[in-house]
Amino acid sequence: MAEQTEKKLIFSGIQPTGVFTLGNYIGAIRNWGPLQDEYRCVYSVVDMHAITVRQDSVKLRQNTLQAYALLMACGIDLEKSLLFIQSHVHTHAELSWILSCNTQFGELSRMTQFKDKSQRHPDDMNAGLFTYPVLMAADILAYNADLVPVGVDQKQHLELARDIAQRFNQRYGDFFTMPEPYIPLVGAKVMSLQDPTKKMSKSDTNPNACILILDDKDTIIRKCKRAVTDSDTVVRYAEGKDGINNLMTIYSSVTGKDFDAIEREFDGQGYDTFKMAVGEAVADHLRPMQETYAKLIGDKKYLNECYTQSDAKALAYSSKIVQKVYHKIGFVDAR
């Protein structure tokens, strides 16, 4: 990365909590590949974040490799970017501790994701779930990232990362770059197919609520056909038509057509035809990625080489920043 220092730096991460949804894909991951030419990109499979919710250890290991291969299949190119596994780079946990000493209890209590997740897991309100946003701030600040591509649900966490950075800068002198969110104009919040007032989420218990990016064509079409819509029949983007608005957003994201063009295309055709078209367009869009994924996941040795190389580069880069942080706060320099 050293020879390209004039380019801005991007950081983003995704949790290995299962196969990615179409929401993860449209809201975040699909934007990561195209950014690689303009920016220095650092991406991570954030397994330490995933354990804030109880995980089966065998499944977590499989999901982490799967997430890694999926990101490569979605276009992360290791010639251009870093793609590493968070737990392999110890600077993240180290910086997280320092930042947690510069974060207020009240700030963390206001995080809506904490409130949601602690309600959903009342038997496991662990401290990690509470301090999750501090680790996320550490991920970003350990690289002094300029931009963070995420879906809209992560905006609040990013604002907290900025507040933490600003507080640190005020206490110890300007050091951290203020990271900016990079949120897509269309598709920043893909909604559940079964309850279009809720975000599509990997952890939804109803399998019809989300399209997984490894679903086959028949499954995708079936899920689209069953999507909850209103009792109107006109394909039109309008208030109160949450289900149709969501399907139009999905269709627009995978075909590149704008809402006016979609309304014209389905003029007088009713919801069934539209839902079928959405399912087919999504399946066709995902197919090349699915084929690449199938090849990658069978080659564990290659995957291992890829993350080992990125882990080392990420560690070298972030260590320099964390060492400077240690010095600024008054720790005696280590040899």
Looking at the Cβ atoms of 132 and 266, the one nearer to ligand ATP is 132
Give yes or no for residue 164 binding ligand ATP (CB under 6 A): no
Cα dist. 185→154, 190, 256, 289, 335 in Å?
Answer: 15, 12, 12, 23, 48
Q: Is 202 part of the annotated catalytic residue set?
A: yes
Cβ atoms < 10 Å from Cβ of 320: 11
Q: Which of 8, 155, 189, 202 does the annotation list as catalytic?
A: 202
d(CA 57, CA 85): 16
Cα dist. 37→14, 41, 243, 312 in Å?
Answer: 21, 9, 35, 22
Q: In what order do the strands lie in the sheet with 40-45?
A: 82-85, 40-45, 9-14, 147-149, 180-182
**Residue nearest to ligand LTN according to CB distances in the complex:** 13
Which of ligand ATP, ligand LTN, none lies near 73, with the C-beta cut-off 5 to 8 A by kind? none
With CB under 6 A as the contact rule, the residue among 95, 148, 250, 262 that binds ligand LTN is 148
Span 229-268, contacts to ligand LTN by CB under 6 A: none
Q: Is 199 part of the annotated catalytic residue set?
A: yes
d(CA 144, CA 242): 38
For residue 254, give the nearest of 219, 299, 207, 220 by alpha carbon.
Answer: 220
Which of ligand ATP, ligand LTN, none lies near 215, with the C-beta cut-off 5 to 8 A by kind? none
Give yes or no for residue 157 binding ligand ATP (CB under 6 A): no
d(CA 245, CA 285): 20
Looking at the Cβ atoms of 29 and 224, the one nearer to ligand LTN is 29
Give yes or no for residue 271 binding ligand LTN (CB under 6 A): no
Give yes or no for residue 31 binding ligand ATP (CB under 6 A): no
With CB under 6 A as the contact rule, the residue among 10, 11, 91, 199 that binds ligand LTN is 11
Which of ligand ATP, ligand LTN, none lies near 91, with the C-beta cut-off 5 to 8 A by kind? none
Span 203-232, contacts to ligand ATP by CB under 6 A: 203
Give yes or no for residue 12 binding ligand LTN (CB under 6 A): yes
With CB under 6 A as the contact rule, the residue among 47, 139, 146, 215 that binds ligand LTN is 139
Looking at the Cβ atoms of 23 and 243, the one nearer to ligand ATP is 23
Q: Is 330 left (phi over 0), alpha (psi -120 to 50) or beta?
A: left
Q: Is 328 part of the annotated catalytic residue set?
A: no
Give yes or no for residue 187 binding ligand LTN (CB under 6 A): no
Q: What residues make contact with ligand ATP under the rule CB under 6 A? A: 14-15, 17, 21, 23-24, 27-28, 150-151, 153-154, 188-190, 199-203
Which residues are tagged catalytic?
Answer: 117, 199, 202
